[in-house]
Structure 1
Amino acid sequence: MYAPCIISSICDKIKLFYEANIIKHQNFKGWWHVYHAFSIVNIPVVIEKRVCMVNWFKPDSSWIKLNTDGSYNGKVAGCGGILRNHLGQMIKAFDGPVKGNSALIAELKGIIYGISMCINLGYNRIWIEVDAMLILHYINNNSLFNAENYYLIRQMKQDLSNNNYKISHIYREGNGCADALAKVGCNLLEYAEFSDHDIPKVVKGLARLDRAGLPYIRNHDGIT
C-alpha cells in the first residue's frame, strides 16, 4: 500500500487504456493539462468555440454615455464616437481622420474629441465606454509612462479632470456604433458631426439595436 506505487500503477493502466483506444482524448475534456501526468504524448488539441452575449447598457438619467473607438488599417487612421442619453437616443456622433500610425493614437484622439464635444454641449456627467483595455489603464493609473503618447494622455486626463466621469470596458461587438464611425473616419479629410437625421444608415441601425437592448454574440476560442 505504498502510495507512489499505487499512483504509478494507475497511471500505467490509464496509458494502456488510452493506447488501446478504450479511453479517448475526449474523455479528458476540460482536463487537457493532465495528459503528461500519464506519460501520454502527441495529444490532438481541440479548439472549442465558446459563445457569450455582449450588451450595450443605457446610462442613468443624470448621465450621458460616450462610446468611442479608433481604427488603423495599416495606411490611415480614424476615430469616431457616439453620445447617447438614458433612453438610448443619440444626441450627437462624430468621425474623422487621425494623423498617426496606430490604433492607440486613434483611440486617444477619439476620446479627446468626444470629451470636447460633451463639454461644448454642456454635459459634465459622462460615462465613457471603450473596447481598448489599455485606455482604462492610462486613465486609472496615475503615471504617464507612455513616452510616445505622453502629451495625448496628459491632455485626455486634463480634460477629464474638469468633469464628473466614469469609464468602463466593452467588447468590440458591443461597441459597434463607434467602431463603424471610426472606420469611416479613416477615409475622411476632416471631422464630421452628425445628429440623428443625418448619421450613416449602418450606425443608425446599430444604435436602434442597442436602444432595444438586443445582445451581440461574441465567440471565444477555448482549448479542451
Structure 2
Amino acid sequence: MVQLEDILAILGGAIFKDHSGQCLNCLVDYYSIHDALYAEFNAALSAILFAISNGWMSLWFECDSTMVVEIFKGNHNPPWKLLNKWSKCKAAMAEMDFRVSHIYREGNSCADKLANYWINSKVSSIWSSTPNFIVHEFLRNRNHLPNYRFNSH
C-alpha cells in the first residue's frame, strides 16, 4: 500500500507524492466559473476522494489557501454548495491518517503550474507520472531548491 506524504492542491490541481517524493499522480479538474474559495475547496475535496479511491489512507494535505486550511481545521465554514461533499470527505477522513497544513505559494509552484494548465485547457486530466510542463518545478521542489516570486511594485 502506498503511503502519501504530500498533496498540493490549488484551483483544481493536485499532486500526489509518496514518502520519498516520487510522483504518483497529478490531476486537474475544471469546475466552470465559481469564486476562488469554492474552486480551491472543491479541488481539495476531490483530491481527498481521489486518494481514498486509490486506497491511500495516509494523507498530508498542503494548501496555499489559508481559508481552505481553516475550514479543514474547523475554524471556518465551508461554502454551502459543498456541504454534502464535505460531509462525505469528513466521514472518510475520520478513517484516515490525515494532516493539513498551509504552504506558501512559492512552495507550491507545481500546483501553480497545474492550475495554469487547468485555466488554459478547461478540461479535467489525470497523469500517472509527472507531466512534462511541471518537471522543472517538480525537480526543484524534490531537491529542496528555493522558488521566488518577484513583484514589480
With structure 1 as the length reference, what TM-score do the two structures score? 0.59
Alignment of 1:96-107 (within 5 A): 96-107=29-40
What is the SS of the residue equivalent to 1:97?
coil
User: What's the offset of the Cα at 1:152?
Assistant: 4.6
- Where structure 2 has 5 or more consecutive residues not aligned to the other structure, the ranges are none
Q: Are residues 165 and 108 of structure 1, via their aligned partners in 2, closer, same or farther at CA, if it must alter by over 3 Å?
A: same
Alignment of 1:70-149 (within 5 A): 70=11, 79-141=12-74, 144=77, 146-147=79-80, 149=82
Answer yes or no: is the 8 Å Cα contact 1:93–1:194 preserved in 2.
Answer: yes
Distance 1:185 1:87 in 2: 27
Answer yes or no: is the 8 Å Cα contact 1:69–1:80 preserved in 2.
Answer: yes
The answer to whether the aligner puts 1:67 opposite 2:25 as a matched pair is: no
Q: Are residues 154 and 215 of structure 1, via their aligned partners in 2, closer, same or farther at CA, if it must alter by over 3 Å?
A: same
Distance 1:191 1:139 in 2: 24
Distance 2:78 2:140 in 1: 39
Cross-structure match for 2:116: 183
Answer yes or no: is the 8 Å Cα contact 1:97–1:187 preserved in 2.
Answer: no
What is the SS of the residue equivalent to 1:87?
coil
User: What's the offset of the Cα at 1:196?
Assistant: 1.9
Distance 1:62 1:153 in 2: 23
Distance 1:209 1:143 in 2: 33
Give 1:212's match in structure 2, choosing from 122, 143, 152: 143
Give 1:160's match in structure 2, choosing from 93, 103, 112: 93
User: What's the offset of the Cα at 1:145?
Assistant: 6.5
Q: Deviations over 1:86-134 (max 9, x none)?
A: 2211010001211332111111121122112211222101000000111
Comparing 100-109 with 130-139, greater Cα deviation is found at 100-109
Answer yes or no: is the 8 Å Cα contact 2:67–2:76 preserved in 1.
Answer: no
Q: Deviations over 1:155-178 (max 9, x none)?
A: 443342332100000000111111
Answer yes or no: is the 8 Å Cα contact 2:45–2:86 preserved in 1.
Answer: no
Percent sequence identity is 24
Distance 2:129 2:78 in 1: 39
Letter in 2 for 1:68: A
Give the alignment's Cα RMSD to 1 decimal. Answer: 2.5
Aligned residues: 150
Distance 2:78 2:39 in 1: 18
Answer yes or no: is the 8 Å Cα contact 1:63–1:85 preserved in 2.
Answer: yes
What is the SS of the residue equivalent to 2:120?
coil
Distance 1:142 1:103 in 2: 18
Cross-structure match for 1:194: 127
User: What's the offset of the Cα at 1:205?
Assistant: 1.3
Letter in 2 for 1:65: D
Answer yes or no: is the 8 Å Cα contact 1:80–1:110 preserved in 2.
Answer: yes
Answer yes or no: is the 8 Å Cα contact 1:92–1:194 preserved in 2.
Answer: yes
- Where structure 1 has 5 or more consecutive residues not aligned to the other structure, the ranges are 1-60, 71-78
